[in-house]
Amino acid sequence: MRIPVVAIIVAAGASSRLGQPKQLLPVDGEPLLQRAVRCALEAGAGPVLVVLGAYRERIEKAVELGATTVVANAEWEEGMASSIRAGVRAVDEGAGVAGVLLMTCDQPRITAKHLLQMLEEFDAHEGTMPIASTYGGVRGTPAIFPRAMFADLLALRGDRGARGLLAKTSLPIVEIPLEGGEVDIDRPEDLAELN
């Protein structure tokens, strides 16, 4: 039986550099957020929490989120750290959760196969080690953080994600290459390069 891992998809930002909600951008006919949700569910993570802030109502109307739990982040303007905190705080403490799979919604090269590989590695190490995706010479998301790192996630502040934790943790880290993981969508030209 697989060790319980909750997926937290951070999707609360206003996409100010892009000029439109990146969560709703279609890639291969599927909104980016829908793709992230689908990949997490297909890989077997669960439950899946989607952290929303800016454009929340618009996103909830446009994206099928039925199999997920929406976490409202009232502090989304602070930046990504506030969404990570909101997601971790929403994890059901009584469910025996061993870790969280932290994802963003703007990495179009993520696949269910990659996420499944991460979950299997987490299982193989009995839920004790962080599992990080690697691309462009860095460790980044998607990443699985064991329960021992929840306090570190809750201590994040500002517009910083969890990449810094992957760089400074004393725990050994399992790295899994993600081809195209460095591709994210922040500006209109990023979308043009993708299509």
Q: State mean pLDDT over 161-189.
A: 81
Determine contact, residues 76/53, Cβ cutoff 8 Å.
Answer: yes
Q: Please give the biggest Cα pair distance in the chain.
A: 45
Instruction: Locate the domains of the chain by residue range.
Output: 5-194
CATH number of 5-194: 3.90.550.10
User: What's the rounded Cα separation, in Å, for the pair 99 and 75?
Assistant: 24
If one compares 165 and 182, the residue with the highest pLDDT of the two is 165
The Cα–Cα gap between 113 and 42 comes to 8
pLDDT at 141 > cutoff 90: yes
* Residue pLDDT, tens place only, 33-81: 999 999 999 999 989 999 999 889 999 999 988 889 999 999 999 989 9
79-111, pLDDT tens digit by residue? 899 999 999 999 977 678 999 999 998 888 899
Q: Which amino acid is at 124?
A: A
Average pLDDT (111-115) is 96
Contact indicator for 114, 134 with CB cutoff of 8 Å? no
pLDDT on residue 72: 95
Cβ–Cβ under 8 Å, residues 185 and 142 = no
For the entire predicted model, the pTM comes to: 0.92
Q: Say if strands 174-177 and 48-52 run parallel, antiparallel, or are unpaired.
A: unpaired
Q: For the chain, what is the mean pLDDT? A: 88
Residue 116 pLDDT > 90: yes
The pLDDT score that the predictor gives to residue 106 is 85
How far the first Cα of the chain sits from its last, in Å, is 40
